[in-house]
Amino acid sequence: MPQIIVLPHPELCPEGAVIEAEAGVSICDALLDNDIEIEHACEKSCACTTCHVIVREGYRSLNEPDELEDDLLDKAWGLTSVSRLSCQAIVDEENLVVELPKYTINHASENH
């Protein structure tokens, strides 16, 4: 069973975490199932960017992003070449290292 190593995030996962994830589930569901309360304002329907993650290791093992996800990612805070919407990124057999961005569009507009 693949592992997702979640890098420390000041609010959502201060100590970081190593979680087990079943192949075939989204990164978002794996995080939520392990009490890491990643934001998902659109209820995982690929209609916002609040579940944006940066996949530091294992990116190539994930399913390819579709055009809608790519278009939405262009609006994400802190976009990188290995960014994904966690609700659309499906875990395969390879371990992942995931960074939760410091802000989401929701946080950025509410707090800054």
Over range 2-26, report the average pLDDT: 97
Using one digit for the tens of pLDDT, what is the confidence trace for 33-86?
999 999 999 999 999 999 999 999 999 999 999 999 999 999 998 999 999 999
Length of the chain: 112
CATH superfamily of 3-111: Beta-grasp domain (3.10.20.30)
Q: What's the pLDDT at 99?
A: 98
What is the pTM (predicted TM-score) of this model?
0.92
Over range 99-108, report the average pLDDT: 76
- Per-domain residue ranges for the chain? 3-111
Q: What is the 3-state secondary structure (H, E, C) of 18-84?
A: EEECCCCCEHHHHHHHCCCCCCCCCCCCCCCCCCEEEEEECHHHCCCCCHHHHHHHCCCCCCCCCEE
Residue 90 pLDDT level (bands cut at 50, 70, 90): very high
With 0-12 / 13-18 / 19 or more C-beta atoms within 10 angstroms meaning exposed / middle / buried, residue 103 is middle
